[in-house]
Amino acid sequence: MAAVSQLNFRHQNLQTTPSIRCFTTTFSHPANFRFQVSPAKFKLASTRSHNSASASVVVPEDRISGTKHNLSPNVERWIDFIPGRNWWNLGREDEAGIVETADPITVWFALRRIWELVADEKLVISIGLCSLTVAAIAEISIPNLLAASIFAAQNGEALVLYRNLKILTFLCFASGICSGLRSGCFGIANMVLLKRLRKTLYTNLLFQDISFFDREPVGNLTSRLGADCQKLSHIISNNLHLIVRNSLQGTGALINLLRLSWPLALSACFMCILLCMIFLVYGWYQKKAAKLIQDSTAHANEVSQEALSLVRTIRVNGTETKEHERYMQWLDKLAFVSARESAAYGLWNFSFSTLYRLTQVVAIILGGMSILAGHASAEQLTKYVLYCEWLIYAAWRLADNFSSLLQCIGASEKVFQLIGVKLQKLRAQVEFVNVSFHYPLRTKTPTLEEVNISILPNEVVAIVGLSGSGKSTLVHLLLGLYEPTQGQILIDGHPLKDLDIGWLRENIGYVGQEPHLFGMDIKSNISYGCSRNLEQEDVEWAAKQAHAHEFICSLPDAYETLVDDELLSGGQKQRIAIARIRPMISYN
């Protein structure tokens, strides 16, 4: 800051109490600071009629919608049961008060976060994938050999029969061994995922501010740690590897069908496309229902835990019936959604069974016509029927596994929201959008009011103001020590409250006005808080960047010198503290 007098600064007033001033400059190296402050553009005002004589006009619902209800209630009830009608609606009766306003979790986002948790187990996952591939290839080769063996026995070809039987025996053992190895490897990966998922979630919960626990009941959080994490861990053990296996088997069946007869193969593909289209609708509905089921379960656990922990108070006030009704309210909502999810699953199975049998009928019709025309043999038709069944079953299992995957992700949205987001690439763009704040013990004395600040990457910003004007409060809010009472803070466009707070603090360097050093050597102080082990060269590089290397080397034991208040001046302590910070977002 010695060169401040040589720079041209401009300042803007922040709308705070008292005022803060912001200075901006641009440096030759990639570091420039800019502050934007904009007051509220407008305020929403509501108008209310004070005419007590005014009367409200009630318009019948059918007049508004333009429909007439001429059918009997029983007929209307059956019509509502048609897919897409009111009976299937989950929104009005169940989402109110349950669904969060956060954006829904996508499949790719969930898979990426899961991979971050199990990335260290690459060897186990690789062995599982290799075993899965070998087992899938072995299983998809069996129908071809079965048909060939049957017709070889019918034609009296003993050598061909014995050869096929040997190959079948080998494939059966290979498939069994690889399937067992696959299940074991992915079971280990599932155990690791569940352990690290609960560890990460529990750690993030411990680092939340106190106001978070005022908003989130303990019963709700324990349900997330227990049932939701268990549900999410099934993605590896029951979903992902089965999706890969069924994809390989379906691809192998389709290749064999194309080799036999491409017109017959296209007919089977048409049935699979219809199956996938039905699944898209069912999968979306099941994902939505699964989230509501988990939320209702969490609320029911919250009510039961609260009632059991306050059972003496309930007995004294005689409110057992009231608490029972509260609990039954959530159980009724849970049953409401579960009934519709089960009905949707029944329709899905009905669609599959119908299309599966239709595929068999179409195969016999087209295959029979080909045999009558002399374009195919009975052996080819048998292989076609076997592989056609294999393809349809693979498509059904693939859709079922993917549906289960959507169900797990839908049920675990709250878990990912509690864990927080780690940005793939931090550009360090910081925005304060209409941020207002007051400390918990000073609710009537606002510290910040509608502050708007925009800091672009590589900018340096100086905030100047009187004592108590809120300069340090801005940094405390950015560090996640407090939450704004109004407005929000954005990091690269993402709300600060949605980010992983531990990851965020690892990327923020902070040096206070009077930095404190620990009673250990200088090297340990510089490397304090770093997530990896630093070599001596790394420590010296950081000290050189903070212009502390020269005076450290002049000390009796250099970097091994123990920190002493009488040995180091205030400026030297600041230099060591500057060397300790991370470079992405730094505050001095």
Cβ atoms of 515 and 580 closer than 8 Å: no
The residue length of the chain stands at 588
Cβ atoms of 417 and 102 closer than 8 Å: yes
Tell me if the bond preceding 18 is cis, omega within 30° of 0: yes
| Residue 383 scores a pLDDT above 80 | yes
pTM of the model as a whole: 0.54
Tell me, which fold does domain 4-36+422-506 have in CATH?
Rossmann fold (3.40.50)
- Please name the helix (run of DSSP H) or strand (run of DSSP E) that holds residue 577, with its range, or none: helix 570-580
Please write the tens of the pLDDT for every residue from 238-290: 778 888 888 888 888 888 888 877 777 787 788 778 877 887 777 777 777 87
Average pLDDT over residues 87-93: 57
| Residue 408 scores a pLDDT above 70 | yes
Closest to 579 measured CA to CA, from 507, 537, 527? 527
Categorize the per-residue pLDDT at 76 as very low, low, confident or very high, splitting at 50, 70 and 90. Answer: low
Rounded Cα gap, residues 460 and 32, in angstroms: 4
Site of tokens 């009608």: 85
The radius of gyration computed from the CA coordinates of the chain, to the nearest angstrom, equals 33
Least confident stretch, 166-180, 311-325, 393-407: 393-407
The per-residue pLDDT for 31 is 43
Q: Which residues contact 473 (CB under 8 A, 6 or more apart)?
A: 437, 447, 448, 482
From residue 101, alpha-carbon distances to 105, 484, 502 in Å are 12, 18, 23
Beta 494-495 vs 486-491: how paired, if at all?
Answer: antiparallel
Closest to 20 measured CA to CA, from 465, 491, 337, 519? 465
- 414-439 exposure pattern, b = at least 16 Cβ within 10 A, e = fewer: bbbbbbbbbbeebebbbbbbbbbbbe
Report the SS3 class of residue 431: strand
Average pLDDT over residues 222-246: 77
Beta 508-510 vs 10-14: how paired, if at all?
Answer: unpaired
Residue 563's identity, in one-letter code, is: V
Please write the tens of the pLDDT for every residue from 6-55: 333 334 444 444 444 454 444 444 444 344 433 333 333 333 334 433 33
Report the SS3 class of residue 525: helix
Per-domain residue ranges for the chain? 4-36+422-506, 107-411, 522-587
Right CATH number for 107-411 from 3.40.50.720, 3.40.50.2300, 1.20.1560.10, 1.10.579.10? 1.20.1560.10
